[in-house]
Amino acid sequence: MKNYFPHLSDIIRAKNTLNEVISTTPLIHTFNLSERYDARILLKREDLQMVRSYKIRGAYNKIRSLSPEELQKGVVCASAGNHAQGVAYSCHKLGIRGTIYMPTTTPKQKITQVKFFGREDIDIVLVGDTFDASSREAIQYAEQSGKPFIHPFDDPKIIEGQATVGLEIIEAAGTPIDYVFVPIGGGGLAAGISSYFKQVSPETRIIGVEPAGAASMRAAFDLGHVTELPEIDKFVDGAAVKQVGTITYDICRQALADVISVPEGKICTTMLELYNLNAIVTEPAGALSIAALDQYADQIRGKNVVCIVSGNNNDITRMEEIRERSLLYEGLKHYFMVRFPQRSGALLSFVQKVMGPNDDITHFAYSKKTNREQGPAIIGIELQRKEDLAGLLERMKEYDVAFEHLNDKPDLFEMLI
């Protein structure tokens, strides 16, 4: 759909529709972030929505726009989790049938939540390793069955529903907003919020934020057209999209001030800080906007800033991976392949002479070779300060330890760890 741009009347109409199901989520002032950045940082808590993300807005607005004849057929969608929950809740609320396609990599917690919200009114189909693969199957099924496809982001009614987040921010802020940081997966939320601010508060700068391993909107901006990334890092599952929407791209190109990306490790660090300092639990995509603040630290000083906390559908079983990625990003966790002499006491000598007083071995895997003078071991060492790495490397060389630093060798790291 070319030349589409959400009109204010469409967004207000969407808000009136959504009053049937959603709560107006709070816009809260966070003191520790405000102090850190010397700015007034406000969090739009969409993680407190009844399906624990903003996705209910677009999903319900789209489904309610369908004709009675279309609703009778039932609906189809594809989602990594949050859109699926929004569609599932809408189906149960309206008493219609829904078929929901999800990637096989979707966290179990999200699948369980989809079943909870949809109850007996939905069927779940797990297929494909990514959202894009799952989406292709869902679209094919929708075309064959004649059922309406509820797109997770590239649809005017979806975008208008997500735009109501911007409307609520303006109503609750009570003061002009200088910056809004918004996460980007397929671009529906960014397109909706930026289009609303473009018309109501054009001086506000809307910054789109993507995970570095799935920066499909940035790629589209750089090329001047939508493109499919050859591969993505699926860790930030709520925003791991190979290709943004054509409609969302056209809107974002007009209304976003910038699109930036954040490393997955930085997102993990932000998730842990939000939990430890603010008692806020987010999913990786939910922490994207806050993780981006470091990149704009100078520009936002003294300004009014809003970050969208987009969701908190996180699986507790992922916390160890989240901590690991954070430690690696912060330079506090290092893996080495060490070739120990095959004699008793070799490891003890390593611990006594090479390890620092605050260093901790958190991973050890040893492979003893027959009739060999040396046996390789994979050792994970956690440091108290990233500056301690220099001393550790220096002692390894001083005591003639045969080693390879695996953090610097991504292909070998992926294979061994």
Neighbouring C-beta atoms of residue 367, cutoff 10 Å: 8
Fold classification of 331-416 (topology level): Alpha-Beta Plaits (3.30.70)
CB 344 within 8 A of CB 327: no
- What torsion, rounded to 10 degrees, do the Cα atoms 132, 135, 139, 140 define? 80
Q: Please tell me whether residue 308 adopts helix, strand or coil conformation.
A: strand
Active site residue 310: yes
Q: Give the type of residue at 141.
A: Y
- What torsion, rounded to 10 degrees, do the Cα atoms 393, 395, 397, 402 define? -80
Q: Where in the chain is the domain with CATH 3.30.70.260?
A: 331-416
| Residue 181, C-beta contacts closer than 8 angstroms, at least 6 positions apart | 207, 209, 289, 290, 292, 293, 296, 305, 306, 307, 308
Angle between helices 188-200 and 246-255 (to 10 degrees): 40
CB 201 within 8 A of CB 177: yes
* pLDDT tens digit sequence for 269-291: 999 999 999 999 999 999 999 99
Structure tokens at 299: 């520009």
Residue 108: the pLDDT is 80
Q: Could you tell me which of 368, 378, 381, 363 has the C-alpha nearest to residue 341?
A: 368
Q: Where in the chain is the domain with CATH 3.40.50.1100?
A: 8-54+162-323, 56-150
H or E element in which residue 44 lies? strand 40-45
* pLDDT tens digit sequence for 113-166: 899 999 999 999 999 987 778 889 999 999 999 999 999 999 999 999 999 999
What's the chain's average pLDDT? 93
Q: CATH assignment of 8-54+162-323, given 3.40.50.1100, 3.40.50.620, 3.90.1170.50, 3.20.20.70?
A: 3.40.50.1100
Catalytic residue among 15, 44, 53, 55: 55
Q: What's the pTM?
A: 0.91
Query: What does CATH list as the number for 56-150?
Result: 3.40.50.1100
- Give the chain's count of helices (H) and strands (E): 18, 14
Active site residue 198: no
Backbone phi, then psi, for 316, in 5-degree steps? -60, -25
| Residue 266, C-beta contacts closer than 8 angstroms, at least 6 positions apart | 291, 294, 329
| Residue 380, C-beta contacts closer than 8 angstroms, at least 6 positions apart | 333, 334, 335, 361, 362, 363, 364, 417
Structure tokens at 274: 């939000």
Residue 343: the pLDDT is 78
Tell me the residue ranges of DSSP E strands in 79-162: 98-102, 122-126, 149-150
According to DSSP, residue 311 is labeled B
Note down pLDDT in tens along the chain; length 417 residues: 678 999 999 999 999 999 999 989 999 999 999 999 999 999 999 999 989 999 999 999 999 999 999 999 999 999 878 999 999 999 999 999 999 999 888 778 778 889 999 999 999 999 998 777 888 999 999 999 999 999 999 999 999 999 999 999 999 998 999 999 999 999 999 999 999 999 999 999 999 999 999 999 999 999 999 999 999 998 998 898 999 999 999 999 999 999 999 999 999 999 999 999 999 999 999 999 999 999 999 999 999 999 999 999 887 888 899 999 999 999 999 999 998 887 788 888 899 999 999 999 999 987 666 556 667 889 999 999 999 999 999 999 999 898 999 998 877 787 777
Catalytic residue among 134, 195, 310, 326: 310
Q: Give the length of the chain.
A: 417
CB 188 within 8 A of CB 158: yes
Angle between helices 55-64 and 8-18 (to 10 degrees): 100
